[in-house]
Chain A
């Protein structure tokens, strides 16, 4: 009778031990999955950073180019206007130069 009782208890202990081992295995697997998920998330973040950098850079370069075009367009118009505005005064400037070279001023 006592032997049978001991066996029942030993079996229960064995079952409990197995349960704990299974739990530990399950925990290890869970942690491994979590580690892999973390790794995947970090890799994805690295990949995302590349496209984010590229998009942001392209956006500001585009804005810069647009401003550049506007600045140069304005400058070209100003140069054209300057040339046209000074044409009528060119003879006056030539006379000023001649006065100084000839010493008649």
Chain B
């Protein structure tokens, strides 16, 4: 082989090697770009999925809060109606003294409350009890309860309870819109059946009754 041929061979080999290096690099660069694009596509897909989940959670949070607000609205409306019923009842209580209630005169209502209080005090005791009835100034002045009525009540209660009960009117006055307080003469036990106290004491059951009457099935 002559020098020229050798030179051509050397150049040819160098050319080949050069092309090979460039082609390999080109292929590597293209692969790297392709890999990056694929990786970014996958990353984007995962990102979108994660953002969708976050979006759905946010939407559900808004809807949950709205449902809670809706329940609150209904609850507030019910409370408003319950308060309205209680306020109206309180207003009507003032008319009971003059008009009675469902065929019961105010003195009869007081008699019922005295009997109820007395039975509570004497419950479980067969011994005799001396009790006094406390009225408001207004009720005492109107003489809704007199000695004759107390005598009848005493007989009725003694008969029902089997004990010896004595009732008398106290000179002490109470501050109340109506109702009575009955207490043992020794002051040890008393039952407060004034309207205000009954309203407070029965508050839970009154509300339940109102709810049952007004909202059941609505």
Q: Which residues of A contact B (CB under 8 A)?
A: 4-6, 8-9, 11-13, 15-17, 19-20, 22-24, 26-27, 30-31, 33-34, 37-38, 41-42, 45, 48-49, 52-53, 56-57, 59-61, 63-65, 67-68, 71-72, 74-76, 78-79, 82-83, 85-86, 89-90, 92-104
Contact = CB atoms under 8 A, between A and B. Distances in A.
Nearest to B57: A60
Given A64-B58, A100-B202, A94 B21 contact: no
A86 B214 contact: yes
Contacts of B61: 64
A60 B86 contact: no
22 contacts: A8-B4, A8-B6, A9-B6, A20-B17, A27-B22, A33-B29, A34-B33, A38-B33, A41-B33, A49-B47, A52-B44, A64-B61, A67-B59, A71-B66, A71-B69, A75-B73, A79-B77, A83-B81, A92-B213, A93-B213, A94-B92, A99-B102
A14 to B, nearest CB: 10
B59 A60 contact: yes
A8 B77 CA distance: 107
B171 interface: no
Given A34-B32, A71-B63, A83-B81, A90 B21 contact: no
Contacts of B74: 75, 78-79, 82
B101 A97 contact: no
Given A9-B6, A12-B11, A98-B96, A19 B47 contact: no
B51 A56 contact: yes
Interface SS, A side: helix
B32 to A, nearest CB: 5
A7 to B, nearest CB: 8
Interface string B157-200: 00000000000000000000000000000000000010100110
B62 interface: yes
A57 B55 contact: yes
A78 to B, nearest CB: 6
Contacts of A53: 47, 51
A27 B21 contact: yes
Interface in B197-218: 198-199, 202, 205-206, 209-210, 213-215, 218
B204 to A, nearest CB: 11
Given A12-B6, A38-B33, A104 B85 contact: no
